Amino acid sequence: MCHSKEILKHFVKYDHRNDVSLGNGSKVSIFGEGKVVAGVALEGILKIFEIKRVLYLTTLTCNLLSVSEMRKAGLKTKFSSDQNNKGFCEISKANEKEVITVALERIEGLY
């Protein structure tokens, strides 16, 4: 889910109203969807990845990834902490050990 329409490629606006439920039980309106192409440097190597069917929600204050949707897409997530107790999440293909990207904990369990 994304709050920034500018990063969505091939954006498709929804003609009818759709809602999605958030973790706190509230429902918010979906205005369309697109895909996000992003890159991250891991151990000095730039890795480009694509996330399809990213929902556009204007009411979010940050972008969110659904762990269950990543699992459905064949990805694996591993949540850990470093020696300073800073949280991070590694994302990889379910059948491979190579890490695609790493997300750092931002605020109180949000990555």
Q: Return the amino acid letter for 38.
A: A
Please tell me what DSSP assigns to residue 104. E
Helix (H, G, I), strand (E, B) or coil at 107: strand
Q: Nearest Cα to 35, choosing from 53, 62, 57?
A: 53
Q: Which pTM was predicted?
A: 0.73
Burial (CB < 10 A; 0-12, 13-18, 19+), residue 56, is buried
Q: Residue for token digits 């556009």? A: 56
The predicted pLDDT at position 33 comes to 94
Given this model, what pLDDT does residue 30 score? Answer: 93
- pLDDT (tens digit per residue) in 6-22: 989 999 999 988 898 88
Q: What pLDDT does residue 48 have?
A: 79
Tokens representing 23 are 């973790």
Q: In the structure encoding, which two tokens stand for residue 13, read together?
A: 């606006």
Instruction: Tell me the pLDDT tens digit for each residue of 38-85.
Output: 777 777 778 777 888 899 998 888 888 888 878 887 888 888 888 887
